[in-house]
A and B are shown apart, each in its own frame.
Chain A
């Protein structure tokens, strides 16, 4: 079979990513132009490290967004003569070029890597966000009130943290555990906290305007409550509260357990960070002033303490998305959760490692993709830390 030269492969790859380049240039141009008005994000463009990090992250975000335009082949399409071919092999029947070679089933490595970015980019930030909302909702009162509540919550957090992550994954992410409906029950507990967070946030802010508050809190309860119930409730599982007609959100059980376990692993660390920050900020004068004004505890926690803890939390948020990406890769690497033909990076590394010494590309390509995304997030966090410390 004919192959392209390395240079041709390289230029074709550059052209395939064209939508990504355009989007990145547009984002950077707009951000640099208006950076004075963009706060912390705008200041990021003063630091080289931060800009490089943002570049990597944006590259993968846009790749996930334009995955359908970039990937030349279907992720599951198997062309048997193309098994384990090298980079740039031209398909004999004119279907196209396998730019980064083929895997052991004759699928296009490049297309799978691009499609895999969509899975990572959609799960990792969302799971991190949930972990943050769980950690904040529990960490603020633990640090603010202390006492028995703090002791119990801290003990539970340390309990989860003492669990080796991989052991926890192996225990939770198995077909048998999914059968018992445990993921749904864990989701029921974990997903209610973001809802509680949203209600507390608006209620404490709008307490003095009862009519507006009733309207907005009511809307959150109805919409959020429905989303929550639709997410958790699933036919033929442990929890089935909503009738099928209005249960519109269907999360496959194996995806739900991956999501839940990643949130579960991350939340205790966020809890500890938030608790520590609250303990520190609680002693400040403006908190004492707020207490003297007669503000209620949740208002102080959510509108006095939390905004002042945002710097370290934003930095940790970036780092934690990277860590979550690594965790998702670990799950895929051990073949847990997602189906084996799923194009996510961990699973493809796992599938590719068996033939590593003869056909390295199927494993190396997703491995480097994962590394570059995590590196980007770490650099971005570094840049943000540098810039937020500057003032």
Chain B
């Protein structure tokens, strides 16, 4: 077990290393560096001035050296600015250049400085991740019980009318990406001119113009039922169908097993068989599916936060990518890649714990 964990952790670090290098490469292509130079030094500078500006600001170094600098294994660049003062990768304004450290990369805990938000990347990431964490918590609260219940009810009696109905619902939600369900939900529930809200308002059932809010920007200060329902449901919906289908398949398989027949034959009620014998084994597979669902949820989070203007991690990623904010984008990708890899690891380990037939060593 320890050997397995160590091997997986080593693979995780290697993957993260490769992926950050790819991101670093793709965000530091010559046209992007030219854009940065023109953004910092003025849009009308000539090509020669761009080259000299890049060389003076440490962008001229070889790719691997610059990646090492970001990582914190190669000393940061130093140089002199137009007034003859010292400047460099590790030298911040107002700090004595002599006291600045030589190494200041991710390994030293320094994630760099965002050019869009004018804040250190680490502080942006921690606030934004907190906001997304709240969103994800509620998504899980809605998604997991609903989908498991749907899957168990459908798989309990395969081929019954309930099974067919629930399976149709599940397949419909898996066919509805977030940008479709979000748009449909906003029109249905959060528009003062169309959908349900105007009718409810006319009948005096709701005091506001709309049932739910189509924007979640107010949810960043305080969550209410009104401003948070739609984003949560939008993300949860796409996952519900998938997990429910997996649970149904797993449940249907368990229900045909020999020991279930034995339990039935010894006279247990159907309810008893499902609750005490079938459920425990049927819920092992969905556990893996739920863990592996996290990377998909990440996509959903980016789309939904953009659609509902909720300024969490996904929204930050879009801002960073859209404005070529390299340090922030690298920070976001490190977080995203770690979420994916850690959930994969957890799902493997958890599966082995839940299913005694699986041995890892």
Bin chain A's interface residue count: 35 or more
A356/B183 contact (C-beta < 8 A), A162-B340, A330-B299 known:
yes
Q: Does A289 contact B (CB under 8 A)?
A: no
* Given known A-B contacts A349-B180, A360-B187, A167 and B333 have beta carbons under 8 A apart: yes
Q: Is A357 a contact partner of B214 (Cβ separation < 8 A)?
A: yes
Flag if A356 contacts B31 (CB, 8 Å).
no
Interface positions of A (Cβ within 8 A of B)? 155, 158-159, 162-167, 170-172, 174-177, 179-180, 182, 322, 326, 329-330, 333-334, 346, 349, 352-353, 356-358, 360, 363-364, 367-368, 370-371, 374-375, 377-379, 382
Residues of B within 8 A of A179 (CB): 31
For residue A326, which residues in chain B have a CB less than 8 angstroms away from its CB? 177
Does A374 lie within 8 Å of B175, measured CB to CB?
A: yes
Could you write out 27 A-B pairs with CB less than 8 Å apart?
A158-B15, A159-B15, A159-B19, A162-B295, A162-B337, A164-B298, A164-B302, A164-B336, A164-B337, A170-B321, A171-B26, A171-B27, A172-B26, A176-B35, A180-B31, A326-B177, A357-B186, A357-B191, A358-B191, A360-B191, A363-B187, A367-B179, A367-B184, A370-B177, A375-B171, A378-B171, A378-B175
Residues on the B chain within 8 Å of A379, using CB: 171
CB atoms of B179 and A333 under 8 A apart = yes
Task: Answer yes or no: B322 CB below 8 A from chain A CBs.
Answer: yes
Complex CA–CA separation, A353 to B304 (angstroms): 12
CB-based closest 6 A-B pairs:
A170-B321, A375-B175, A176-B31, A357-B191, A374-B175, A360-B187
- CB under 8 Å from chain A, chain B span 1-31: 15, 18-19, 22-23, 26-27, 29-31
B299 touches A329 (CB 8 A): no
The reply to whether the CB of B166 lies closer than 8 angstroms to some CB of chain A is: no
B193/A167 in contact, CB under 8 A: no
Contacts of B183 in A (CB 8 A): 349, 352-353, 356, 363-364, 367
At the interface, yes or no: B306 with Cβ under 8 Å from chain A?
yes
B349 CB, nearest partner CB in chain A, Å: 17
Q: Encode contact with A along B194-224: 1 for CB under 8 Å, 0 otherwise.
A: 1100000000000000000010000000000
The range of chain B's interface size is 35 or more
Q: A176-B35, A371-B176 are in contact. Are A334 and B193 (CB under 8 A)?
A: no
The contact of B19 among A163, A170, A174, A175, by CB within 8 Å, is A163
Q: Taking A162-B19, A163-B337, A349-B183 as contacts, is the C-beta distance between A170 and B295 under 8 angstroms?
A: no
Chain A nearest CB from B190 CB (Å) reads 7
Q: Chain B: interface secondary structure?
A: helix
Kindly state whether residue B136 has any CB partner on chain A within 8 Å: no
Distance between A110 CB and nearest chain B CB, rounded to angstroms: 17
Partner of B307, one of A155, A322, A353: A353
17 new A-B contacts at CB < 8 Å, known A170-B318, A356-B186: A162-B341, A162-B344, A163-B22, A164-B336, A164-B337, A167-B23, A167-B321, A170-B322, A176-B29, A176-B32, A182-B29, A333-B179, A334-B306, A368-B180, A368-B184, A374-B176, A378-B171
Query: B332, A167: Cβ atoms under 8 Å?
Result: yes
Q: How far is the CB of B104 from chain A (nearest CB, A)?
A: 25
Specify which chain B residues have a CB less than 8 angstroms from the CB of A357 in the assembled complex: 186-187, 190-193, 214
CA distance A158 to B324 in the complex (A): 26
Distance (whole angstroms) from the CB of A140 to the closest CB of chain B: 24
Q: Which of chain A's residues have a CB closer than 8 A to the CB of B340?
A: 162, 164
B191 touches A356 (CB 8 A): yes
Pair A364/B19 contact, Cβ less than 8 Å? no
Shortest Cβ distance from residue A388 to the other chain B in the assembled complex, whole angstroms: 16
Contacts of B171 in A (CB 8 A): 375, 378-379, 382
B126 interface contact, C-beta 8 A: no
**Would you give the shortest CB distance from A309 to chain B, in whole angstroms?**
20
Q: Is the CB of B298 within 8 A of A358?
A: no
CB pair B180–A164 under 8 Å, yes or no, is no
A379 to chain B: closest residue by CB: B171
Beyond A356-B214, A360-B187, is A171–B321 a contact (Cβ under 8 Å)? yes
Q: Which residues of B contact A353 (CB under 8 A)?
A: 183, 307
- Nearest A residue (CB) for B314: A166
Q: Please tell me if B56 contacts chain A, counting CB pairs below 8 Å.
A: no
Residues of A within 8 A of B344 (CB): 162
A166 to B295, CA, bound (A): 11
Chain A residues positioned under 8 Å from B22 (CB to CB):
163
